[in-house]
Amino acid sequence: MYDSSSGYLVGTPYLPLTAAIGEHWIYAIPDTNLDQAFYYWWGWYTVSAGYSPPSTTGGGCFIATATFGSELSPEVQFLRNFRETAVMSSFTGRQFVAWFNTAYYSFSPTVASSVASSEATRDWMKGSLYPMMGILHLGADAYFLLSFSPDLGIIVFVLLVSFLMSLVYLTPTVLIAMTPILVLKKPSISTKTVKVTGVVWFGCILAIVIAAVAQIPLMMMASGFALVGSTVFLTILGATKLLLEHWFSKDTR
């Protein structure tokens, strides 16, 4: 069924008979594992001469499917299986998925469209995603070590992945953006700023614990979002501060 409000095929993901070979189509299947009916699994397909309609059991990660070419690729299967077997097994995990989906699916169709339209873009995206896949595997290993407590495992997974993603992707980007400033003057990040961010981060952890114990969905989603944001910000602040201090201490010797 075509949903005119979203522009996607919703429900049974069959392509129209008039679809031309080489066209890219998006479909969405309602995810019955979530309490909210408006969340969907998304799939990305390129029409080919031997096309057969995909199954309606669920799609993979939207951008990963476009990048690796198939929802049956090992990378997409890992993401889907971890979501189904681990993340969705706990109250905390389900709420994290809820707010993540809200953010992720707001931009992923546009990104996936760009990725699927160019072989060079797909190759570049693959190279960009491989570090992320490694980080997610490390996070999954940490989760399974704590599988005796799924809620705790998910919190550790989110913290570890947020920290490593920030360190690998965002901190270098910030330092590159600061290059003109580094040339003109000696920048500094105050210890007070780092400490205040640390207090906010600890408050988010406390709020998540309360939300998990009291089973408050809205509080869990809000505190989860705040935890990821504060972890990212704290990681960038701390790493940048240490690197700048090390760099300028060498210059003064």
Question: What pLDDT does 203 receive?
Answer: 97
Q: Which pTM was predicted?
A: 0.73
Contact 201, 230 (CB under 8 A): yes
What sign has the CA pseudo-torsion 105, 109, 110, 114? Answer: positive
Question: What pLDDT does 250 receive?
Answer: 61
Question: What pLDDT does 252 receive?
Answer: 54
Q: Which residues contact 95 (CB under 8 A, 6 or more apart)?
A: 211, 217, 220, 221, 224
Tens digit of pLDDT for each residue in 61-118?
778 888 887 777 888 889 888 988 889 889 999 999 888 877 887 787 788 888 878 8
Domain range annotation of the chain: 91-251
Question: What pLDDT does 253 receive?
Answer: 52
Question: What pLDDT does 38 receive?
Answer: 36
Question: What pLDDT does 229 receive?
Answer: 95
Residue numbers in the chain where pLDDT is lower than 70: 1-60, 183-184, 250-253
